[in-house]
Amino acid sequence: MSARQTEAASRLIKGATGDWEIVIGLEVHAQVLSEAKLFSGASAAFGGEPNSHVSLVDAGMPGMLPVINQFCVEQAVRTGLGLKAAINLHSVFDRKNYFYPDLPSGYQISQYKQPVVGEGAIVIDLPDGTSRTVGIERLHLEQDAGKNVHDQHPDLTLVDLNRAGVALMEIVSKPDLRSAEEAAAYLKKLRIILRYLGTCDGNMDQGSMRADVNVSVRRPGEPFGTRCEIKNVNSMRFVAQAVEVEARRQVDLIEEGGTVRQETRLFDPRAGETRSMRSKEEAHDYRYFPDPDLLPLELEQAWVDAIKRSLPELPDAKKQRFIDTYGLSAYDAGVLIGERETADFFEAAAKGRDAKLVANWVIGDLAGALNKRGLAITDSPVGPGAVGELVDLIKNDTISGRIAKDVFEIMVETGRNPAEIVEEKGLRQVTDTGAIEAAVERVLAANPAKVEEVKLKPKLMGWFVGQVMKEMGGKANPAALNEILAKRLGL
């Protein structure tokens, strides 16, 4: 088998009658970061008293006309450019008709045949260190619906229209994903890109990003099977679980002689299963038609070009630059670019220093300390300058790497600078060979039996290193100590 076939084979799942390939496409709804809604002047902010972020347009009152929010269009175009996608200078808004209480006008304003953004691509990064390119089919703008509350009254559903009319970008991938892992990696990368662009906050807990997952299975090499759409999956973990569970269901169904029916399903993480949403079946006839209240959206190429020039450095480019200019591993670079703020912190700390060592501290001890305290890197008690100074103290042999960890703990607790802590606590490492030799002699004199033993078992030298370190309060320069000890023991 070629490498490519081996790679493809590793993603297959086993059935009772042979191997199956999973085919996945994702439709991600990402809430546009904006102050006001897509077609009205009501606030797009999360929360608020019920029905307080609602204009008469959002409530579907007769005679109200939608007027598009220019900034929401800009955000969609910016996202399209970030996804290396074609921008359609001419696009059209359509009405998608369906009946549900959270949709007061009886239709959602969306884009059907002529979306604002066309084909693009995302490079996804997999846990084994490899990358794959996944196609983007399109991105269009549409309105969010309101919120139905079912658990407050035995016979009634309560409706809050605060979300109704908030701008969403629906980002549709091509059916290029082949495993649960890839689906999760796609969502993760898309989230990072949106956050870099500042077009969506990526907050999955608050529903700012939700995914509809299309899953089908086939024998390798055969045409696509019938797909099922799993609605509203709201975390990366659940996307992966939903794919696993649904693919397994379809394989079992087909192997038992059944056929997969195209339908909408719901993922229940507690039960670990997907269930048919029968009520959605008959609603699938959306009777799209161009919204007569809205003229086609015409964009100027010069305006699109200006947005393009204002794009920040994107995650893939930043990762490559970190590898090229700082000599970082792909893994370390990948972790650092996960949040723009972390990447900025690293760059500020690494300026003119040993970047690999700085990266280790940012990814390791700093990330650990922040995680433990539930802090974002922007709220870190230890700034990039202080991390840099700590690395300087290690590099110029003022302190050892081990002592640095103690110093760092104090920095996190007190926010003080490392040099000050080293001086005050007397942690400066001892490089004076005379002092180290004296401590070595004291340890040897106190342990004559071990001295005999080490002649037969050279590995015991580590024990002596530990003892001398203890004798010197951990402050001996490790390299100097090793050299002196080896010489003295004749090893």
Partner 1 sequence: MAVDKETVRKVAHLARVGIEDAELAPLTGELNAILAWVEELGAVDTSHVEPMTSVEADAAPRRSDTVNDGGRPEDILKNAPERIDSFFAVPKVVE
In the complex, minimum distance from the CB of residue 88 to partner 1, in angstroms, rounded to a whole number: 14
Counting residues that bind partner 1 (by CB under 8 A) gives 56
Q: 14 and 4 in contact (C-beta within 8 Å)?
A: no
Closer to partner 1 by CB, 44 or 236: give it. Answer: 44
Q: Could you tell me the two tokens for 234? A: 């709201």
DSSP code string of 101-118: TT-TTSEEEE--SS-SB-
Closer to partner 1 by CB, 97 or 433: give it. Answer: 97
Q: Does 86 bind partner 1 (CB under 8 A)?
A: no
Strand ranges across the sheet with 94-97:
107-110, 94-97, 289-290
Closer to partner 1 by CB, 290 or 474: give it. Answer: 290
> CA–CA separation, 150 vs 156, rounded Å?
7
Q: Does 460 bind partner 1 (CB under 8 A)?
A: no
> CA–CA separation, 221 vs 453, rounded Å?
66
Chain-centre distance of CA 381, in angstroms?
Answer: 24
Tokens 């399109």 appear where?
138
Q: Contacting partner 1 (CB under 8 A), which of 127, 223, 292, 352?
A: 292
In the complex, minimum distance from the CB of residue 158 to partner 1, in angstroms, rounded to a whole number: 4
Closest to 378 (Cα-Cα) out of 341, 330, 336: 341
Closest to 104 (Cα-Cα) out of 145, 66, 139: 145
Q: Does 301 bind partner 1 (CB under 8 A)?
A: no
> CA–CA separation, 473 vs 467, rounded Å?
10
Helix (H, G, I), strand (E, B) or coil at 97: strand
Q: Contacting partner 1 (CB under 8 A), which of 35, 397, 432, 483?
A: 35
Q: Contacting partner 1 (CB under 8 A), which of 41, 129, 385, 466?
A: 41
Closer to partner 1 by CB, 36 or 242: give it. Answer: 36
Show the site string, 142-171: x = touches partner 1 by CB under 8 A, - = not: ------xxx-xxxxxxxxxx----------
In the complex, minimum distance from the CB of residue 281 to partner 1, in angstroms, rounded to a whole number: 12
> CA–CA separation, 30 vs 207, rounded Å?
9
Show the site string, 242-281: x = touches partner 1 by CB under 8 A, - = not: ------------------------x----------x-x--
Q: Could you tell me the two tokens for 80? A: 């399209």
Closer to partner 1 by CB, 65 or 456: give it. Answer: 65
List the beta bridge partners of residue 25: 214
Q: Which residues bind partner 1 (CB under 8 A)?
A: 34-36, 40-43, 49-57, 59, 67-73, 92, 97, 99-101, 148-150, 152-161, 266, 277, 279, 282-283, 285, 287, 290, 292, 294-298
